Structure 1
Amino acid sequence: MTADAYGPMVAEPLLRRALAPYDENIVIATKAGFTRQGPDKWTPVGRPAYLRQECEMSLRILGVDRIALLQLHRVDPDVPLEDQVGELKALKDEGKVAHIGLSEVTVDQIEEARASAPIASVQNRYNLADRAAEDVLDYCESHQIAFIPWFPLATGGLAKSGGPLEAIASRLSPRRRSSLSRGCSAAHRFCCPSRAPRRWSISSRTWPPRASS
C-alpha cells in the first residue's frame, strides 16, 4: 500500500526500486486525491481531472499497466462523491485500475460510493486503542468489503508506559482490570509488549494486518 502523497513523491518510486520487476503474487495498491503541502498539512483534491492525472502518474512511476487497487485517499467535501468515484470507475472501465477503494469514510459515504461503483476495500484508522471505525468495520464485514486498518500499531505508542492501553485499563472495573493484567502478563511470556498490539491486529477482523504502521 502506497500513495503519491507520501513524501510526497517518495514512496512510489521507492517501492518500484525495491520490488521491480514485480512478482506475479505482489498486489500493488496506491491512493489518489490527497495533497501534502508540508508536515501535517494535507488537502483533499477530488476533482475528476486531478484524480485521473494522479492515476496516470502512478502508472508511470510504478511501472505498471494497471493498478490493482486505487483508493480515494480522502473524500473532497467540495466535489460530489459520485463524481470522484465515477472517475475512478471510468479508469477501471479503461483497464487502468482493477479495483476501487476508499479511505477514511463513514458508512453513509460507503453506501453513496457503492451507488457509483463496486467498492473493494476501505482503509480507516483502527487499532486496539482507537476503534472509532467499528461501525465501518461491521459494515464492511457484512458486505464483503476488505477493511484495511491504517495506524494499526500506533507507531509503537500502544506499548509505551502511560500510553493508551493504560488509559483503557483505567476505565475498566477492578475485576476486568485484573483479568487484563493477567492476560498481558501471560502474553508477555510469549512476546514483548510491542508485539501485543500486533497480535491483536492479526487476530482481529481487519485485512491485511500489515497494511501500515
Structure 2
Amino acid sequence: MDYIYIDFDGGVPRLAYTGCSRCSSLIGLSLCRTKNRGCCYYSPKFFPVEIQRMCHSEKGMELLKKIVGMPNTVLYDDHILVKGSYDYILHQKMLKGGLVPLDGNVNDSSVFFRTCPFVRSGSGCTLPPRYRSYVCNFFLCPEILNNPLYKDRLEPYIRERENYIRFLEWENNQLIMAMREEGISMSKNFDAAVEFLKNLEISCYDFPELEPVVIADDSSKGA
C-alpha cells in the first residue's frame, strides 16, 4: 500500500505520495517529447516568498541565478515566470485525429503536451521542495480528490492547504507592498529586490501534522 502524507523540507511543507512512480492518473499522461514526467506540466511562477527563501542560503542563491539565466524566464514586477515547453503542433494534430484522451477530470487537453522546465523524465522535479511553488508542493490530482474512497480522509489536507495558501498570499502581498514602497520591482531592479528580500526575516508557518491517508494496493492513482 502507498500513502499520502505531509513532508517537510527546511520547514517548508509539501504533500507527498509514496506511489508517484506507479501512478496511472490520466493527468499524468505525457504525449510530448518528455516521457514519464508525471503530472509536472505547470510553468512555475516564483513569488517573493519563494525568492526570499532562495536568498537566505548559498544553494538557494545558486538556484535563483540559474532560474533567472534560463532562456524561457520572464521577470515581472512581482514574480518570476519560467515557461515550460508546449508542443502545440502535435496537440492540434492529435486533436484533429481524435487521438487526445477526453475525461471529465481533465478540462484542458493541452496538459498532455506541456512539460515543466524543471522536470526530468523518470526522476521527477529537480527543484528542492523548499524552493518550489505551493502549486507544485500541494497539487492533488482531481481523480483522487473526486474518489469517494478518499474524499473524507483528504478533507483535513484540503482545509490545511487552503489555510497555508492564504498565509502565503498574505505574505506575498506584504513583501510586494514593501518592495513598492522602496521603489523596487523584480523586472526593473532585480538585484536590489534580491538584496531587499535577503535582509528581511522569513515568516514561518506552523503547518500541522496530519494523519497519513492510505491508498489501497489496487489503486495506482494518487496525489
* TM-score normalised by length of structure 2: 0.22
The higher relative CO (CA closer than 8 Å, separation ≥ 6) is in: 2
* TM-score normalised by length of structure 1: 0.23
